[in-house]
Amino acid sequence: MAGKLKFIHTADIHLGSILHLSCDPREDILDLVNNSTYYAFEYICSFAIENNVDFIIISGDLYDKEARSVRASKFFIEQCERLRENNIKVYLIYGNHDPLTKETDIFHMPDNVFTFDSNNANSIDYFNRDGELAARIVGQSYKTAAESRKMHKTYVVPDNSVYNIGLLHTQLNSNNKNYVPSTSIELKENVNIDYWALGHIHKFNIVNKDTPTIVYPGIPQGRDIGEEGMGGIILAEVEDKSLINLQYITTSLVVWKKVEIKIDEDKENIPENLSDLEDIMLKKAESIVEEYNNISKINGTIENPPLKGFVVQWIISGMGAINDIIKQSRDEIVQVLTKSLNDKLLNNLPFILSDSIEFKTSTFDLNIDKIIAENQIFREVDKVVQCCFRDDKMKMDLLKAMGDVYEYSDDVENYNEQKLQIDEKELSEIILKARQLAFEKLLERGD
């Protein structure tokens, strides 16, 4: 039966997750950052009420852990009670972070919340406020943290007379066996599904615009620098069984941001000391806020939450004499610069919290390719570097030499919180940084 439909698609909320700060900010900033996932979901519910949506669908990883915290569970119930008072339903599958085991929920779920089973896929009819069948939602929860079942193969609806929505927590990669292996081609083969509401990938991505619409909403609130940028949700509107509007609504109160400053970008203004460098960083901070304010004016009609602040990882690169100063007291310089920046920028709105500073500067103009081509010694050093890239055993030996505190993993979903996780990209950056330091030491000798 055709009609109008308005719903929110969200996923990967990770209530109860740990925020990964490198610095120790003052109490009010720490409280805001640590509770930002809660604030984001509260805003999602407020937005749903203000915009009179029919229902919210959550495509997995509502909670950050299988053992759900009492606080996170109670908070979710309270927000769903708000939705129930406004006749808004919630359809929920559990993902790899919060699989649906034999454990019962800590609290009774409100009657407007519908949870999909982990044993089999099932379909739930949605009746609009006039009592008419307006949509079907089909889904299946994870039973364990790793799911190799091709769940989508069992997603069955009686017909396509109404708008059919499939909830799936997947990596959308048939080669990965841990997170419901599937592909967009396979999803398109189910001709009765109009909208695939995906979860698991923390970046917003419209995989397919046409029918079936296939969308990752991304994470509503980033929790570390690996989840930088504005998080959000999807607001979808359907009329006569056709998707007429798909809008990305930002929900982050705190935004993680990598900011790179090349000290030699302006040849007339290369910093000679730490005061000069701090002035450049402060001007860059002003431009970050100005850019945000300009975007807010352009998107003034979108009911976004007020951004409270940025958590910034500074990356200082380029060539200059200041590198000699940095090399002498790198750790102390990071500590002093971080404190000074935070003293100056945390009282602004939005605030800028300098979480870490990474130096990739050099004293010499390192034309790596030219140096390697012209000098046998540098070629020999580079051969060792290339072996580190190619030889898996050498990589592991290198990691072992770095100490037991590090652990290599490319699986960002399941990591050991007791160790520092290094993926392929980060290990490559460490190897290249080591090559740069070796080249600089050789050039300093001059022989």
Quick: pLDDT tens for 101-126: 866 567 889 999 999 999 999 999 99
Q: Which residue reads 């569970």 in tokens?
A: 73
Helices (H), 59-177: 70-85
Q: Are strands 195-199 and 163-169 parallel, antiparallel or unpaired?
A: parallel
Mean residue pLDDT of the chain comes to 88
pTM: 0.85
Where is mean pLDDT largest: 158-162, 195-199, 415-419? 195-199
Question: Is the pLDDT confidence value at 160 over 70?
Answer: yes
Instruction: Please state, as a whole number, how many other Cβ atoms lie within 10 Å of the Cβ of residue 57.
Output: 26
Number of structural domains found in the chain: 3
Question: Is the pLDDT confidence value at 441 over 50?
Answer: yes
- Are residues 436 and 394 located together in one domain of the fold? yes
As a whole number of angstroms, the distance between CA 244 and CA 441 comes to 61
- The 10s digit of each residue's pLDDT in 268-325 is 889 999 999 999 999 999 999 888 877 655 444 344 567 899 999 999 999 898 999 9
Residue type, 283: K
Instruction: Please state, as a whole number, how many other Cβ atoms lie within 10 Å of the Cβ of residue 337.
Output: 18
Kindly give, in sequence order, each residue whose CB lies less than 8 Å from that of residue 67, ignoring residues fewer than 6 positions away.
none
- Are residues 274 and 331 located together in one domain of the fold? yes
Paired residues of 167 in beta bridges: 139, 197
Where is mean pLDDT largest: 209-218, 262-271, 315-324, 367-376? 209-218
Judge whether 107 and 77 are in contact, CB under 8 Å.
yes
* Residues spanned by the domain of 121: 4-250
pLDDT, position 282: 97
- Are residues 236 and 188 located together in one domain of the fold? yes
Helices H / strands E in the chain, number of each = 11, 17
Average pLDDT in the 143-172 region? 93
pLDDT, position 299: 45
- Which residue among 192, 218, 250 closes a domain? 250
Question: Is the pLDDT confidence value at 49 over 90?
Answer: yes
Strands (E) in 181-306, as ranges, are 195-199, 205-208, 213-216, 232-239, 242-250, 254-262
pLDDT, position 433: 77
- Are residues 219 and 154 located together in one domain of the fold? yes
pLDDT, position 428: 80
- Are residues 220 and 160 located together in one domain of the fold? yes
pLDDT, position 419: 56
pLDDT, position 380: 83
Question: Is the pLDDT confidence value at 417 over 70?
Answer: no
Question: Is the pLDDT confidence value at 434 over 90?
Answer: no
Cis amide prior to 271 (ω within 30 degrees): no
Kindly give, in sequence order, each residue whose CB lies less than 8 Å from that of residue 316, ignoring residues fewer than 6 positions away.
260, 261, 263, 277, 357, 358, 359, 360, 361
Decide: helix, strand or coil at residue 423. coil
HSE, side-chain direction, 13 A CA sphere, residue 263:
28
Q: Cα 405 vs. chain centroid, distance in angstroms?
A: 24
Please state, for a pLDDT cut of 70, what percent of the chain lies above it: 90
- Which residue among 229, 250, 271 closes a domain? 250
- Are residues 136 and 160 located together in one domain of the fold? yes
Residue type, 356: S
Question: Is the pLDDT confidence value at 182 over 80?
Answer: yes
Question: Is the pLDDT confidence value at 98 over 60?
Answer: yes
- Are residues 77 and 197 located together in one domain of the fold? yes
pLDDT, position 373: 82
Instruction: Please state, as a whole number, how many other Cβ atoms lie within 10 Å of the Cβ of residue 62.
Output: 27
- Are residues 267 and 342 located together in one domain of the fold? yes
As a whole number of angstroms, the distance between CA 289 and CA 140 comes to 42
The region of weakest confidence among 1-10, 108-117, 312-321, 353-362 is: 1-10
As a whole number of angstroms, the distance between CA 41 and CA 73 comes to 13
Q: At what angle do helices 376-390 and 392-402 cross, to 10 degrees?
A: 100
Judge whether 161 and 147 are in contact, CB under 8 Å.
no
Kindly give, in sequence order, each residue whose CB lies less than 8 Å from that of residue 231, ignoring residues fewer than 6 positions away.
40, 202, 218, 219, 220, 221, 222, 250, 251, 252
Q: Which of 140, 133, 53, 120 is nearest to 90 (CA)?
A: 53
pLDDT, position 301: 37
- Are residues 274 and 370 located together in one domain of the fold? no
- Are residues 313 and 445 located together in one domain of the fold? no
pLDDT, position 447: 57
pLDDT, position 2: 57
pLDDT confidence tier of residue 84, bands split at 50, 70 and 90: very high
- Which residue among 295, 329, 363 closes a domain? 363
pLDDT, position 89: 98
Q: In CATH, what number is assigned to the domain containing residue 122?
A: 3.60.21.10
pLDDT, position 302: 41
The region of weakest confidence among 101-115, 121-135, 143-157, 226-240 is: 101-115
- Are residues 219 and 359 located together in one domain of the fold? no
pLDDT, position 122: 94
Judge whether 145 and 179 are in contact, CB under 8 Å.
no
Cis amide prior to 212 (ω within 30 degrees): yes
Q: Which residue reads 């007020």 in tokens?
A: 306
- Are residues 379 and 410 located together in one domain of the fold? yes
Q: Is 214 exposed, middle or buried (0-12, 13-18, 19+ CB in 10 A)?
A: buried
